[in-house]
Amino acid sequence: MIHRPSPRVTILGAGAVGLPLAAYLAKQGREVQVARTRAEIDPEPSLAVAVSEAGQKRISAQIPSGSLATLPSLDGIVVVAVKSYVNAAIAAALQRKAFTGPIVILQNGLGVEQPFVAAGFTSIFRGVLYMTSQLAASSPAGIEVDFRAIASSPIGVVLGSEADLTACVQALSTPAFPFHAETEIQRAAWKKTIINAVFNSLCTLLEIDNGIFARDPAAAQLAREVVHECLAVATRRGIALTEAEVLEQIMKISRGSGGVLISTLQDVRAGRPTEIDSLNLEIARLASALNPPASVPKTELLGRLVLQKSLRRGGPARSSEECAASLAPGDTPT
């Protein structure tokens, strides 16, 4: 058998997903680089990353880094690990660089792949993440990340071949951050989006960690009510999911991530835009587009409250398009 080296992996976004992924790939001897995407950041040529689990250091790695705007060219696999509200700006940047390779999107929410489809890319793969991760304060030793995989994360085809899907999974998967090929990726995306509609709204509004649903029956009941609404929309859109399997996954995540803060709460506290538009509010939009429309009052209200909380913490309201327009060509916020 002829051994073929793994393709180079360029991870867009030096955040809570991109950094541990890069560190684990580097420790496996794979060629990986992190591309910063914010226009105002002048990145260091490399990043020192230390990954811990439950406060216990697991690995450290030195990762080559740069700016998406200044990378002369791109080859191999591009992994999109920034928030979805600026995907259109990323797609435009990749177009300008004439990138034609596989794009793997590691984001929460529904419809996050559409800007890449609209831009004409033909090798697009969607990942659904089952992990928790928090960035700690940077130290002289580098950037510290507390990370744990809850389960293997599926990746499936949006556009492209099964052979390219297999190659992407093999290139990205490591024992500590595993991935697997998934034939029903839209079902997986809906399941995870409903789970996120629970965690990212309720934990953010309550300002509490992910373990709340395993500890508090009243919180678990609220989660059940949101899941019930969302599943009514999923079913009418041809997605076969059961309430039992979604709630089981919510409780598994809650038990496994006590003390961990959901990314939306971290974003709100830092004054950053959130991805709630791709979660609760996207489910509400899809519900209203049905004929006849479906009603998801709790799901939508929770989403609108998170949005208002985010805007009040982060200053004047700005749309996704305004956020993207404020960036230098080719740049997006991490």
pLDDT at res. 57: 79
- 121 and 103 Cβ atoms separated by less than 8 Å: yes
Of 3.40.50.300, 3.30.428.10, 3.40.50.720, 3.10.20.740, which CATH number belongs to 9-183?
3.40.50.720
> What average pLDDT does this structure show over 32-60?
81
pLDDT at res. 43: 64
> What average pLDDT does this structure show over 196-201?
97
What are the strands, taking DSSP E only, across 167-289? 179-181
* Residue type for position 275: E
pLDDT confidence band for 330 (50 / 70 / 90): very low
Task: Look over the chain and give the mean of its residue pLDDT values, rounded to a whole number.
Answer: 88
Q: Does domain 187-321 have CATH number 1.10.240.10?
A: no
Query: Which pair of structure tokens corresponds to residue 295?
Result: 């009603």
Output 43 or 212, whichever has higher pLDDT: 212
Question: Would the pLDDT of 315 be above 60?
Answer: no
pLDDT at res. 160: 96
- 183 and 208 Cβ atoms separated by less than 8 Å: no
Q: Which residues of 48-65 are buried (b: 16+ CB within 10 A; e: fewer)?
A: bbbbbbeeeebbbbebbb
Q: List, for residues 134-154, the tens digit of each pLDDT value.
A: 887 666 668 999 998 989 999
Least confident of 11-25, 185-199, 209-223, 304-318: 304-318
- 197 and 226 Cβ atoms separated by less than 8 Å: yes
pLDDT at res. 39: 60
Q: Record the pTM.
A: 0.87
Percent of the chain with pLDDT over 90: 71
Question: Would the pLDDT of 318 be above 50?
Answer: no
Domain ranges of the chain: 9-183, 187-321
